[in-house]
Structure 1
Amino acid sequence: MNTNFQSYNQQQSWLFPPSIEELIADDHPVRIVNGIVEQLDLSLLVEEYSKEGKPSYHPKMMLKVMVYAYMDNTYSSRKIEKAMRENINFMWLAAQQVADHNTIARFRSKKLKTIFKDIFKQVVLLLAEEGLVTLKEVFTDGTKIESIAGRYTFVWGNSIKTRKEKMAEQLEAMWKYAQSIADEEDDDPTPPDFKKIDKEKVAETARKIEKIIRKNPKASTKSKAKLRYIQKNFPQNLDKYEKQQEILAERGSYSKTDPDATFMRMKDDHMQNGQLKPGYNVQVSSESQFVIHYTLHQTTNDLNTLKPHLNTFEYLYEFLPEQLTADAGYGSEENYEFLEQKKINTYVKYNTFDKEQGILKSKRKKKNEDFNRDKLYYNQEQDHYICPMGQTMEKIGERKRKTKSGYAQTSSIYSAQNCQDCQLRGACFKAKGNRIVERNHKLEAYKEKAKRNLLSEIGELKRKQRTADVEPVFAHIKSNRNFKRFTHKGIEKAELEFGLHALAHNIRKKCA
């Protein structure tokens, strides 16, 4: 029998019992968390607490525990409570105090809600003091993260519009039917306007129809049933649709179980087929793979997120970065103008940049691509185009439009003089009349400037750095840390949740 074992005695007494401090390695990440939080000014967090009533757990202790929990992939308040009882690292941070899960949940959702961005900013500034970041150049990109809302609880703006149109059609049909059987006394030569209907219009029209149907023996039973259905359902349905449209605002959809979430097409979903899911568009600005700033948005694309993202950056830090690099999802006239006004050196692609440089190659050449507007010669001095047959295309007017964000754009319209007998007409274009092309001179100027910046030596470097800077942040948070779905409803709580992940990411990277 082998008796070559180390001594094992659970009843062995300690002459000098070890302290928790001695059991934690000097270079353990929990010590980094403790050291960083100790340097923060938590006066705003302290103000969230009442001076009356039962003494609360110290906010410094609660913040240390919360930040380390997210570094440890422990997000549930019940699991954090369990860790405070059993995990030596949590026990050391909390000085062996144990907060119950309700206290932990309230601290996260209520105490941190309004002041967390200030804590995040202080940590980023500490990283800057250590020379890990400069805050002068950032790489910006977005990713979509699923909401905790039910996946099939959608409300679509277009569906509401269609239903209201069908209601208007049914009401108009009933009105026409009533007028067809009405006598001279009830005949109304001026029908109501059914393009826009509301509860009052439905009630008034239904009352008039009912008056005609009741006194006319020719009225069918089917028409009476339709009228009863209109009177019973239309007003309450219109009420419901109006409330839904208020929630939608400028969006095209929302979730019934998380009205702040918008349905977005994700790259991966639970069925692996890219279907629409409720979620948020997370925008991140990074430097050296540290998260410098983050915001959450309800829009499905990145185009209209850059301005609010940078505005909150400026509000938080009281300055803006000197350089910004982003992909083609942000290349618009409005964004280029905004960045120019803010005097930010820009390395932002426009939508056709990769194709122009041969980076993005289409599988097959599009038909008539050689006759595309961008292939036509434009005479800047005389402000006209030359068509493939050598015809001058003179300017005939301007077109003004506004984007969803309210930004005004102006385009010039150019028309060929005579395309009727042109031999290239079939290949050039197929519409009736003479060919017309549209050009936004302001946008073209911005695109030309962006192209020069992107093709410069520093521009090529920035393009390479972007893919190696901000995208790994998303990969680390979503894939390595398995954060692919929010656990809290509402955009404010979701933003706080992502902020905790971003802060944990920054401290974890500092530890590395």
Structure 2
Amino acid sequence: MSHHIKGQGRHQITLLPEALDDFVTEDNPVRVIDIFVDGLQLDSLGFERVAAKQTGRPGYHPATLLKLYIYGYLNRIQSSRRLEKETHRNVELMWLLERLTPDFKTIADFRKTNGKGIKNACKAFIDVCRQMQMFTDVIVAIDGSKFKAVNSKPNNFTPQKAKDHIERVEQSINKYLSKLDESDKNSENDASSELNATKLAWLRKRLEELKGIQKIVEQQPDKQLSLTDPDSRLMKTNNMNRQVCYNVQTAVDTKNHLIVAHKVTNTTDRGQLSSVTKLVQEAVDQKEITVLADKGYYSRGDIKEILDSGAVALVPKGDTSGADRKGLYNLALFKYNQEKDIYICPAGNELQNRFTTVEDGLELQMYFNCIACRDCSQRAKCTTSKSAARRIRRWVHESEMENMQAKLDAAPQTATIRKQTVEHPFGTIKMWMGATHFLMRRFTNVSTEISLHILAYNLKRMISIWGVAGLQMKFKELYQ
């Protein structure tokens, strides 16, 4: 006789609880989802069909499908077909949706047609967090991460890749033409000749397709074309591999680790700092915030725009001059004297401010000393020019960049705080997604999908901070 715990017989009649609510515990996260969605003004957020028509077949209320998606993304179920299955067997969803079971097409169409509403619902959650005083003395860390798109590398083309493909196809065409010529000389007319002719016809058709792709690639502003998802781009990832993906920008609060703002791009991080900072300022409804970012975001124009908006930026400057590789003195060795408005070169000579010019939209002051450079014994280490003096360019607002660097030097822990803050949410969301790509295509749909991921992440984070009961109570207070 076994001493293990025994189960009940499958055919034994059981008296189940009379109410479905008895199956859902008081600390179940679905109760938070229910209260949050019921408190939203869905029509003002941009959801469609909030007010049902009096004629025709009734449809599902947007709140029902929004609850379904938030639950799905919170529990790593993003597929519309899998969500449909869960509505039939998942007791939590039966409670949340009041036993409604929409089909997968209805579920998928809701996500596709309500992108604006879903994005605004994500913003509304941050606004609720702001009203709960979650954002005081706002310090955010900004970073980007690459997420794979629904587009394989073979379906992405650059001018060089298109050229290489065309050359390979032309070589194959010449190869099969040679085979057909040999068959004609030997008066062969067998199955192999027919097969070669078929392959040759396919190759010629493929060659025309590739030439058409080559023309389209040359017309693209960034000289790149993705066939499956036209908005995705081939970019380098952290391990220096290249993937067709999107670059998702996020700003994470260093205190509570909530994702305050996000943005989907298909370019590098450079040039994104100012736009993401503005999204954060709008989300927390205050201008005086502090922004942390890595050197990939360093752009003087971007940082100046942030400072002018009332925010504080802490972004380290990377060395991109390449002078050390050339065996020349690095710009960092030239010391600026603010009182005299001169630069002191490594040889001890003074470089005066000669004139002002504009390069790449920036107003620059030029510093050099022709006489001192001409007779300098270290000239070979300073410049490769045989006649011109070494010129130092200084932006007219460079003092603000130097003040920022001084703050960074005084707070060496800034880089660690930034990394600990912004990397973890990316890792969590990618773990939820699994080893896969976005389910949708194009900027609009991908933005909708990442908004659902971020809404689910923020919701789970708030549950960790307040607990289910505490968060329910806060939501009820705010919605009264």
Q: Distance in 1 between matches of 2:285 and 2:163?
A: 43
In the alignment, which residue of structure 1 is the partner of 2:409? Answer: 455
Distance 1:5 1:145, change over 3 A: closer
Q: Answer whether contact 1:265 1:277 (CA < 8 A) is retained.
A: yes
Q: CA deviation at 1:314?
A: 4.8
2:381 to 406, 414, 427: 427
Q: Answer whether contact 2:150 2:440 (CA < 8 A) is retained.
A: yes
Query: Is 1:91 matched up with 2:86?
Result: no
Paired residue type of 1:289: H
Distance 1:319 1:71, change over 3 A: same
Q: CA deviation at 1:338?
A: 0.7
Q: Distance in 2 between matches of 1:238 and 1:9?
A: 69
In the alignment, which residue of structure 1 is the partner of 2:366? Answer: 412
1:493 to 436, 445, 453: 445
2:315 to 348, 359, 373: 348
Paired residue type of 2:90: N
Q: CA deviation at 1:30?
A: 1.9
Write out per-residue CA displacement over residues 265-302 of structure 1, whole angstroms, 9 at most, x where no aligned residue: 0124xxxxx33221111110111211111001121x21
Q: CA deviation at 1:54?
A: 1.6
Query: Is 1:504 matched up with 2:456?
Result: yes
1:393 to 342, 351, 359: 351
Q: Answer whether contact 2:233 2:245 (CA < 8 A) is retained.
A: yes
Percent identity of paired positions between Structure 1 and Structure 2: 24
Q: Answer whether contact 1:141 1:327 (CA < 8 A) is retained.
A: yes
Q: Distance in 1 between matches of 2:230 and 2:95?
A: 40
In the alignment, which residue of structure 2 is the partner of 1:436? Answer: 390
Q: CA deviation at 1:476?
A: 1.4
Secondary structure at the counterpart of residue 59 of structure 2 = coil
Distance 1:162 1:418, change over 3 A: farther
Q: Answer whether contact 2:47 2:117 (CA < 8 A) is retained.
A: no
Alignment of 1:265-284 (within 5 A): 265-268=236-239, 274-284=240-250
**Unmatched tracts of structure 2, length 5 or more:** 166-207, 465-480
Q: Answer whether contact 1:398 1:413 (CA < 8 A) is retained.
A: no
Secondary structure at the counterpart of residue 115 of structure 1 = helix
Q: Answer whether contact 1:149 1:258 (CA < 8 A) is retained.
A: yes
In the alignment, which residue of structure 2 is the partner of 1:221? Answer: none
Query: Is 1:373 matched up with 2:331?
Result: yes
Q: CA deviation at 1:41?
A: 2.0
Paired residue type of 1:432: K
Secondary structure at the counterpart of residue 425 of structure 2 = helix
Paired residue type of 1:496: T
In the alignment, which residue of structure 1 is the partner of 2:85? Answer: 82
Q: Answer whether contact 2:158 2:225 (CA < 8 A) is retained.
A: yes
Distance 1:455 1:259, change over 3 A: same
In the alignment, which residue of structure 2 is the partner of 1:116? Answer: 118
Q: Answer whether contact 1:397 1:414 (CA < 8 A) is retained.
A: no
1:297 to 265, 271, 287: 265
The alignment's TM-score, normalised by the length of structure 2, stands at 0.76
Q: Distance in 1 between matches of 2:311 and 2:440?
A: 35
Q: Distance in 2 between matches of 1:3 and 1:237?
A: 71
Q: Answer whether contact 2:46 2:120 (CA < 8 A) is retained.
A: no
Distance 1:267 1:480, change over 3 A: same
Write out per-residue CA displacement over residues 224-274 of structure 1, whole angstroms, 9 at most, x where no aligned residue: xxxxxxxxxxx999986665455x33x342312211112100124xxxxx3
Q: Distance in 2 between matches of 1:479 and 1:339?
A: 33
Write out per-residue CA displacement over residues 18-37 of structure 1, whole angstroms, 9 at most, x where no aligned residue: 43321222212222222222
In the alignment, which residue of structure 2 is the partner of 1:102? Answer: 105
Q: Answer whether contact 1:477 1:483 (CA < 8 A) is retained.
A: no
Q: CA deviation at 1:317?
A: 6.0
Paired residue type of 2:409: L
Per mean C-alpha deviation after superposition, the further-off stretch among 433-442 and 63-72 is 433-442
Q: CA deviation at 1:342?
A: 0.5
Q: Distance in 2 between matches of 1:94 and 1:471?
A: 34
Secondary structure at the counterpart of residue 95 of structure 2 = helix
Q: Answer whether contact 1:293 1:313 (CA < 8 A) is retained.
A: yes
The alignment's TM-score, normalised by the length of structure 1, stands at 0.72
In the alignment, which residue of structure 1 is the partner of 2:25? Answer: 25
Q: Distance in 2 between matches of 1:262 and 1:97?
A: 40
In the alignment, which residue of structure 2 is the partner of 1:261? Answer: 232
Paired residue type of 1:334: G
Q: Distance in 1 between matches of 2:351 and 2:162?
A: 44
In the alignment, which residue of structure 2 is the partner of 1:57? Answer: 60
In the alignment, which residue of structure 2 is the partner of 1:332? Answer: 299
Paired residue type of 1:285: A
Paired residue type of 1:260: D
Paired residue type of 1:13: I
Q: Answer whether contact 1:143 1:283 (CA < 8 A) is retained.
A: yes
Q: Answer whether contact 1:412 1:440 (CA < 8 A) is retained.
A: yes
**Unmatched tracts of structure 1, length 5 or more:** 164-234, 269-273, 354-364
Q: Answer whether contact 1:310 1:320 (CA < 8 A) is retained.
A: no
Q: Answer whether contact 2:126 2:283 (CA < 8 A) is retained.
A: no
In the alignment, which residue of structure 1 is the partner of 2:198? Answer: none
Q: Distance in 2 between matches of 1:451 and 1:419?
A: 29
Distance 1:377 1:127, change over 3 A: closer
Alignment of 1:297-316 (within 5 A): 297-299=265-267, 301-314=268-281
Q: Answer whether contact 2:342 2:351 (CA < 8 A) is retained.
A: yes
Paired residue type of 1:265: K
In the alignment, which residue of structure 2 is the partner of 1:182? Answer: none
Secondary structure at the counterpart of residue 391 of structure 2 = strand
In the alignment, which residue of structure 2 is the partner of 1:140? Answer: 142
Q: CA deviation at 1:483?
A: 6.3
Q: Distance in 1 between matches of 2:122 and 2:58?
A: 26
Equivalences, count: 415
Distance 1:312 1:245, change over 3 A: farther
Paired residue type of 1:116: I
Q: Answer whether contact 1:146 1:278 (CA < 8 A) is retained.
A: yes
Write out per-residue CA displacement over residues 439-472 of structure 1, whole angstroms, 9 at most, x where no aligned residue: 223353122110222234xx44544422221111
Write out per-residue CA displacement over residues 95-127 of structure 1, whole angstroms, 9 at most, x where no aligned residue: 11111000000001112x112222112111222
In the alignment, which residue of structure 2 is the partner of 1:356? Answer: none
Per mean C-alpha deviation after superposition, the further-off stretch among 476-485 and 78-87 is 476-485
In the alignment, which residue of structure 2 is the partner of 1:208? Answer: none
Q: Distance in 2 between matches of 1:137 and 1:390?
A: 41
Write out per-residue CA displacement over residues 369-414 of structure 1, whole angstroms, 9 at most, x where no aligned residue: 6x32321244444444344444443445444222xxxx44434252
